[in-house]
Amino acid sequence: MKTSITYIMARRVMALCGILLCIGLTVSAQQKLYTVTGKSVNMRESPVTGKVIGKVSEGESFLVNEDKDGWIGLWHDKKHGYVSKQFVREVKTKDFSRRHLGDYMGNSAMYSDGYSLATLKERDGYVILNVTDYSDVNEFGGMRAQTSWTYVGLPDDNGVLFTHMPYPYHGDIPVKDQLTDHCKIDGDGDFLFVGEDGGLYTPLRSFGAQEETTAVSEPKLTERSLFMLRGDVKTMKIVRAYNIGEDDDAPLSDISYEYTFSPAGDLRSIVKRDVSGEKIGGYQFTQSGDRFHVKGIRPELDFTADYTRKISNYCISYSGEWELKGVTAGDYSGCLYNFDMNGRMPAQSFFEYAPPFMTNGDGEYDNMTYTYGDNPTSPTHINMDLQYGGDGWVFDAEIKGVKTDAQGNWTERKAYVDGELFFTERRFITYYGEPAANTPVVAGTATDNTVYTIAEQMPEYPGGMRELMTFIARNLRYPALCAENGIKGCVKLKFVVEQDGTIGRITTVSSPHPLLEKEAIRIVGLMPKWIPGKQNGKPVRVTYTLPVNFTLH
């Protein structure tokens, strides 16, 4: 995988503009994924008799739009050409999952007589791909060569969109701190697809299937997730008051938004009000399965939209059309919101004509991007871009003074521009099962989704620590490759003991080797139910850190 081949990636562009956190890559009805099966296949300028303009190699994979008369059209080495279908095979894709983390083997893209090893892992919410190409030992018994790369990205509908290639990559430095501009992959990034056959497919190589991990915990996404809300939120009202002088000519005014959600987390209505409390816009959502119809008013004009929604493990995507009656209309095919492996949005950006039909300013077209730090419930910065009457204003605000409720959702925050207060926001939230807004959550109830770090009674393995150590020793299978090479050490895992005692959300804190890490995760996945932790005498979700030691005798 080289940055020079990123131009082959399909680009999803909204009819209006690219306004989302990440306009990702999905395999549409018109696009198919093919992988090359021949050793060195001619790419022709046109089908059958066209001039040969390049070669494609075994293991290279392409997203294809043209597929007719036994030939496929593709981009390769900055040229568009055609390859006979007899030298390729179509790959059906499926949603990316934590089950696909692990070790893979494939053909080397660097050494014709070698092979390639890949490790796909999760760290800090990002997906890390480590690839090493090995040459075979030569006939004189010399040492084989090897070359390694590391790619970092976020999961997508069908795989992972890698946006950075840090070098050197440091396992002891937070991932986000290594994602600098100098290691950013050119263009849209490099994409890794997951095939229904369990293999991984990238532009320059493919990797064979591995045994999937079954003991995994996927984030549960709903439309509430778009607003970074925790718990079973029923209603949310946001009130914003600007602190600006009379000489400020940007189109800013105090406003409020009111949102309602279904018990399942689907958006049901939005109401926008001005400073006097008068309704100046709003929408009603009608749902039938994955199909939605929206009817409402955008200041004095009737607005409608019809679209299909898809929620996968790490993405929420929309495809449909909208109309501002008598004025304009458009579509938003490929409208995609990405989440990381922890179910968080590193940043978010909304536009009023696309789901969830939300703006945060007062311009004819306005776009606000929220950038999150370590805390997924509250952004660290807001970038505000307003366009009005042919003029434009850009504000970069720092968020301070954040207050939260018992669920961890923010209830008040302040935005500062150049050290001066720009606006204050307050949020009033009610939850299903609670009599009033912002009532403290009772530990152990259905609405208590809090993950406790320390509880009054910590979770415990049945029989205590001695039985836990016995279970690990009885089930541990020391990876042969690590044993042969004297690789040992401690794998530290973190997981959540749920209210019913099951194990969920397994993450790695530290590990001396990917194979040891994989084995430790396998053992945790085999564990029986624990005795859950308790708060106020009721079961709650609690984080537990477990070291698994690998020693050689």
Longest dimension (CA), the chain: 85
pLDDT for 51 beyond 90: yes
Looking only at the bridges linking them, the beta strands covering 489-497 and 538-550 are antiparallel
3-state secondary structure string, 425-449?
EEEEEEECCCCCCCCCCCCCCCCCC
Q: Given this model, what pLDDT does residue 211 score?
A: 82
- CATH, range 28-91: 2.30.30.40
Span 273-325, pLDDT tens digits: 876 677 888 899 999 989 999 998 876 789 999 999 999 889 899 999 999 88
Report pLDDT for 316.
92
Q: What is the pLDDT of residue 224?
A: 92
Fold of 223-431: Porin (2.40.160)
Please name the amino acid found at residue 417: V
Are 80 and 97 in contact, with CB atoms under 8 Å apart? no
pLDDT in tens, 517-538: 889 988 998 898 999 988 878 8
Mean pLDDT score of the chain: 81
pLDDT-derived band at 71 (thresholds 50, 70, 90) equals very high
| pLDDT-derived band at 18, boundaries 50, 70, 90 | very low
User: What is the model's pLDDT at position 32?
Assistant: 85
Helix (H) or strand (E) holding 300: none
Residue 491 parent element (H or E):
strand 489-497
How much is the pTM?
A: 0.66
> pLDDT tens digits, residue range 325-380?
888 898 887 788 888 888 888 777 777 778 888 765 555 556 677 777 666 677 88
> pLDDT category, 205, cuts 50, 70, 90?
confident
Helix or strand (DSSP H, E) at 331: strand 328-331
Highest average pLDDT, of 30-39, 241-250, 396-405, comes from 396-405
Q: What dotted CATH number matches 451-550?
A: 3.30.2420.10
pLDDT at 436 over 50: no
- In tens, the pLDDT along 133-150 reads 888 766 555 556 788 889
pLDDT reported for residue 10: 22
Q: Which residue from 191, 36, 3, 2 is spatially nearest to 106, judged by alpha carbons?
A: 36
Choice among 38-47, 443-452, 490-499 with the minimum mean pLDDT: 443-452
User: For the chain, what are the domain ranges?
Assistant: 28-91, 101-207, 223-431, 451-550
30/118: higher pLDDT? 118
Residue bearing the bigger pLDDT, 443 or 248: 248
Sequential DSSP letters for 90-103: EE-B----GGG-EE
Residue 1: C-alpha distances to residues 8, 23, 131, 409 (Å): 12, 21, 9, 41
Average pLDDT value for residue range 83-103: 90
| Amino acid 27: pLDDT | 46
